[in-house]
Amino acid sequence: FLFSTMGAYKYIQELHKKKQSDVMRFLLRVRCWEYRHLPVIHRVTRPSRPEKARRLGYKAKQGYVIFRVRVRVGGRKKPVAKGIVYGKPKSQGVTQLKPRRNLKVVAEGRVGKVAGNLRVLNSYWVNQDSVYKYYEVILVDPSHKAIRRDPRINWICKPVQKHREKRGLTSSGRHARGLIGKGPRHLKNRPSRHATWKRNNKLSLRRYR
């Protein structure tokens, strides 16, 4: 009964949940081979995963753009000359360091830097191999009349939304900042971990008048 009421997008969604199936293994392998030969950042005419893009806010109309980007996987080596860190032994590490931000945030930042006149809405995973992860980033043109006149998306035209991907305001950026969860376990993440630390460690003395 469930399958009789499923639409086309639901079928695609269920197919992507089974990445070990023969169909998906073949499709991902062929697509990965294609992506590997393309530039690091390139615009695509339509999303590779239409059902995922639509769930994240994409519409197939004027003003919406899709960019595909690849990011090298692995840890973040400390950028120091000849592996020499001048300082305390605690900070001597060079190789086994991990980045604070996830790879999806890094991908969004690189696309936002290339397409400076567009606003990053969201992004999603499309493929990966042993060296790279491939993401597709949804961007919106804030100067397009179709976007400015649409009450559901024209919030992104405000000046405060410029380079939101660089300030951790996208979905994956908020995830990296620990702002996804709610409740008593996540109180110290708001407004940010640094702000909470500063509030708890600041000595505030009332002036005697």
Q: What is the pLDDT of residues 153-196, one digit of tens each?
A: 999 999 999 999 999 999 999 999 999 989 999 999 999 999 99
- Beta sheet of 64-72, edge-to-edge order: 41-44, 64-72, 132-140, 119-128
With a cut of 90, say whether residue 209 has pLDDT above it: no
Higher pLDDT: 27 or 207? It is 27
Prediction pTM value: 0.90
Closest alpha carbon to 16 in 26, 24, 8 = 24
The Cα–Cα gap between 133 and 72 comes to 6
> For the segment 42-92, what is each residue's pLDDT rounded down to a tens digit?
999 999 999 999 999 999 999 999 999 999 999 999 999 999 999 999 999
**Across the chain, what does the average pLDDT equal?**
94
Residue for token pair 């969604």: 13
Quick one: pLDDT at residue 188? 93
Give the pLDDT mean for 123-136: 97
Quick one: pLDDT at residue 33? 97
With a cut of 70, say whether residue 2 has pLDDT above it: no
The Cα–Cα gap between 68 and 71 comes to 10
